[in-house]
Amino acid sequence: MAYLGETPVAREDSPYKDTTPAELALEFIQRYGGIDGAHHKAWVLDQVARILHGSPMEGLCRADWDDAPSEYRFEIGASDAYKAWVVECKAGEDGPDTYEYDEGIAP
């Protein structure tokens, strides 16, 4: 199997064109939620929080192989709503930076 590379794709030209934030969040949970390790589970939670706060898909592309199905790849950015939510999380009831927000590590 030879890797042929990645091709940038617009969201409207991808399988994600009509995907709602809730559907995308559930996909992340289904796809990555079972991977062992607290740091990976923290990453899944962070990605879901980003999605539900309206963060954009970034770097959407299609990866192709000569004898395997294509795969869509992307990252979830950080919307202003997500950034404000993280600040709120860190504030806690005992003042600034009471809680250390963990973005986790991608599997």
pLDDT in tens, 32-88: 999 999 999 999 999 999 999 999 999 999 999 999 999 999 999 999 999 999 988
Taken in order 85, 87, 93, 99, the sign of the CA dihedral is positive
Tell whether the model's pLDDT for residue 91 goes beyond 90. Answer: no
Structure token pair of residue 21: 């934030």
Tell whether the model's pLDDT for residue 101 goes beyond 90. Answer: no
Tell whether the model's pLDDT for residue 6 goes beyond 80. Answer: yes
Tell whether the model's pLDDT for residue 19 goes beyond 70. Answer: yes
pLDDT at 97: 66
What beta strand segments (E) does 1-107 contain?
Answer: 3-8, 57-65, 71-76
